Amino acid sequence: MPDYIYLISPLRAGFYQYTSPQEEVVMEAHFEYLRQATSQGKVLLAGPCLDETFGIVILRAESEAEARAFMHNDPSVMNEVMKAELHPMKVSLMRE
């Protein structure tokens, strides 16, 4: 099964300094979406960069179309809090 990485970054300047109550709700839904997918084995790794530039999600999907659908259904992307870009990748090493 192929692996994919998607990068997400805020659409709004200043997001990391201040998140609105609506954005906080969306980001909580984003976290839960990824948490569930991780428990199902679909997401291998997810998290934000500590320098407040972007976040990453590494996932397994049967096809690029499936990976793209997963990315677009991420609540942070779907609710236009974050923009996302998808890239195919190969996980060569991963700690068990």
Q: Write the pLDDT tens digit of every residue in 39-96.
A: 999 999 999 999 999 999 999 999 999 999 999 999 999 999 999 999 999 988 888 7
The answer to whether 83 touches 71, Cβ cutoff 8 Å, is: no
Decide if pLDDT at 17 tops 80: yes
Residue 96 CB coordination number (10 Å) = 2
pTM (predicted TM-score): 0.93
Architecture, CATH, for domain 3-89 = 2-Layer Sandwich (3.30)
pLDDT at position 2: 86
